Amino acid sequence: MIELLAIGDELLLGETVDTNSAWIARCLAAEGIAVQRVTAVGDDIAAIRAALDSALRRCRVVICTGGLGPTPDDMTRHAVAALYDRRLVVDETWIDVLQERHRRRGIAMPERNRVQAERPDGALLLPNELGSAPGVAIDDDARGLTILLPGVPLEVRGLMEAQVLPLLRARLVVAGRIESRLVRTVGIAEASLAERIADIEEHIVPLKLAFLPHGTGVDLRFTGSSDAVERLFDGILARLRERIGDHIYACDGTDLATVVGGMLRDRGLTLALAESCTGGLVARRLTDAPGASDYLLAGFITYSNEAKQDLIGVDAGTLATYGAVSDACAREMAEGARRVGRADVGVAITGVAGPGGGSEEKPVGTVWIAVAAPAGTETRHFIIAGDRTAIRERAGQAALDLLRRVLRGTRSG
Ligand code: ATP
Ligand code: MG
């Protein structure tokens, strides 16, 4: 087991997100090394020392990042030397490396850089190919192993791969690799999902299940040793399909727009869009996938009533009687996009994204979606919660989901 300690005032101010710890944790997990805890502290010698001390007491191997720079606010070396009760000594071989690098660039080495060649007496230097601060590994029987890495993310990655992993592999008894699989769902809330699949918990042991809700759906992540994932995942997926099959759209990280694009391609169908409140968001998502020109022919952003009439032939009477956010308008938009875009399928979205523009009858979040296919037109009504961004994103996701459901009823080929 390992703990990670991220050091730097910028982390506590929220200016920098601790991506170093996330990256190191993923890298260790892939090696079968479990991270037990991640901590962040500021550039404060007492705080660093205390955090490192308690982390070492818990698990005896700690990787720190940050605070190895040449400026006075970088105190990690001092804190560690004090904790291990060692002096700081200058590593002359690293001074030579730095001087040689400067010589090649034709500049003199700043005196300040000497600080970065300091290490606690008896510690090992981990040469850094990508920066001036080397990593440091310090080990003793009483406290355990501490590894110091600089803060710059690129240097962290370089040092982890070249220096730290070989060192840890030699030292730790490494368990099997850890893997996870993602099952992506749409159109079902986290709580209902949990209820519907409650009884699969007993069939997934020793895998761990995490619910990951993200605004446009809930992902289920199954994690465990490669062996267990290999052995159990297909069975788990079969059980999930029995219970929530119509909500599952991917068994890997694929986006819904990519899934739907693949379905269109498989069926040899083309698509045209008419977007109002989403303003092109669905077109953007579909065209994020390379090769979208195989199926996407056109997208109409028909924001005004006039554009709905002039571009895709929505009836003036429909707009006057039912308004732009209505079953009838969504239907005519989808059918118009299909006709004018000369596509097999038309998809339309019209709604009130807010924050203004809502009424008693059509509150903010009211969205109508339509899919016009050769077999007929389907519409759906939603009242979506959230702010403007959330409403637009969820409306787009709901449209793609309705398209997916319609396409499932159409045979491939
Ligand atoms: P340097 O030798 O460059 O001074 P350092 O060891 O002193 O390195 P810091 O000054 O703490 O490192 O950080 C250098 C850069 O790396 C900064 O831009 C900082 O925002 C970024 N950084 C530091 N810690 C992290 C972290 N945990 N996650 C992501 N980025 C980080
Ligand atoms: Mg710093």
Q: What is the pLDDT of residue 225?
A: 86
Nearest CA to ligand 1 atom 26: 18
Q: What is the pLDDT of residue 309?
A: 98
Beta strands in 15-128 (DSSP E): 35-41, 61-65, 88-90, 118-120, 124-126
Q: What is the pLDDT of residue 395?
A: 98
- Buried (b) or exposed (e) across 164-181, using 16+ Cβ within 10 A? bbebbeeebeeeeebbeb
Nearest CA to ligand 1 atom 18: 152
Nearest CA to ligand 1 atom 12: 151
Segment holding 139, helix H or strand E: strand 135-140
Measured in Å, residue 392 CA sits from the centre of ligand 1 at 37
Measured in Å, residue 155 CA sits from the centre of ligand 1 at 9
The secondary structure of residue 385, as a DSSP letter, is -
Q: For residues 230, 234, 237 and 243, what is the CA-based torsion angle, rounded to 10 degrees? A: -140
Nearest CA to ligand 1 atom 3: 69
Mutate to test the pocket of ligand 1, among 4, 7, 9, 16 (most ligand atoms within 8 A of CB): 16
Nearest CA to ligand 1 atom 4: 69
Query: Omega into 127 within 30° of 0, i.e. cis?
Result: no
- Identify the nearest ligand to the CA of 43 by its number: 2
CA–CA gap between residue 270 and residue 136 (Å, rounded): 58
Nearest CA to ligand 1 atom 31: 151
Measured in Å, residue 90 CA sits from the centre of ligand 2 at 20
CA–CA gap between residue 402 and residue 395 (Å, rounded): 11
Any idea which of 164-168, 266-270, 403-407 has the lowest mean pLDDT?
164-168
Q: What is the pLDDT of residue 411?
A: 59
- Identify the nearest ligand to the CA of 20 by its number: 1
Sequence-separated (6 or more) residues with CB below 8 Å from residue 70: 110, 112, 113, 115, 116, 132, 133
Q: What is the pLDDT of residue 95?
A: 95
- From the alpha carbon of 8, which atom of ligand 1 is closest? 11
Tally of CA atoms within 13 A in the half-sphere of 377 that contains its CB: 21
CA–CA gap between residue 256 and residue 401 (Å, rounded): 8
List pLDDT tens digits, range 249-273: 999 889 999 999 999 999 999 999 9
Per the rule left: phi > 0, alpha: psi between -120 and 50, beta: everything else, 144 is left
Encoded tokens for 271 = 């698509």
With a pLDDT cut of 70, the percent of the chain lying above it is: 98
List pLDDT tens digits, range 41-69: 999 999 999 999 999 999 999 999 999 98
Residue 239 pLDDT > 60: yes
Tally of CA atoms within 13 A in the half-sphere of 258 that contains its CB: 10
Nearest CA to ligand 1 atom 13: 151
CB 214: neighbour CB atoms within 10 A? 9
> CB-based burial of residue 25 (10 Å sphere; 0-12 exposed, 13-18 middle, 19+ buried)?
middle
Residues within 5 Å of ion ligand 2 by Cβ? Answer: 8, 67
pLDDT band at residue 173 using 50, 70 and 90 as cut-offs: low
With a pLDDT cut of 90, the percent of the chain lying above it is: 86
Mutate to test the pocket of ligand 1, among 136, 149, 152 (most ligand atoms within 8 A of CB): 152
> CB-based burial of residue 411 (10 Å sphere; 0-12 exposed, 13-18 middle, 19+ buried)?
exposed
Mean pLDDT of the chain: 94
Q: Strand 271-275 and strand 345-351: pairing?
A: parallel
Measured in Å, residue 136 CA sits from the centre of ligand 2 at 16
CA angle 407-189-406, nearest 5°? 10
Q: Which of 338, 211, 350 is nearest to 275 (CA)?
A: 350
Beta strands in 58-99 (DSSP E): 61-65, 88-90
Measured in Å, residue 93 CA sits from the centre of ligand 2 at 24
Q: What is the pLDDT of residue 413?
A: 43
- From the alpha carbon of 6, which atom of ligand 1 is closest? 27
Measured in Å, residue 184 CA sits from the centre of ligand 2 at 39
Q: What is the pLDDT of residue 161?
A: 92
CA–CA gap between residue 36 and residue 59 (Å, rounded): 8
What is each CA distance from 98 to 34, 155, 342, in whole angstroms? Answer: 35, 16, 66
What is the pLDDT averaged over residues 293-297? Answer: 98
Any idea which of 175-184, 285-294, 327-336 has the lowest mean pLDDT?
175-184
CA–CA gap between residue 75 and residue 65 (Å, rounded): 12
Encoded tokens for 277 = 């409140």
- From the alpha carbon of 20, which atom of ligand 1 is closest? 28
Q: What is the pLDDT of residue 174?
A: 63
Encoded tokens for 388 = 């403007």
Q: Is 378 helix (H, G, I), strand (E, B) or coil?
A: strand
CA–CA gap between residue 220 and residue 242 (Å, rounded): 15
Sequence-separated (6 or more) residues with CB below 8 Å from residue 284: none
Nearest CA to ligand 1 atom 27: 18
Query: Are residues 391 and 411 in contact, defined by beta-carbon separation less than 8 angstroms?
Result: no
Q: What residues are in contact with ligand 1 under a 6 Å CB criterion?
A: 6, 8, 10-11, 16, 18-21, 65-69, 74, 131, 133, 150-153
Q: What is the pLDDT of residue 69?
A: 86
List pLDDT tens digits, range 317-332: 999 999 999 999 999 9
Instruction: Give the global pTM.
Output: 0.69
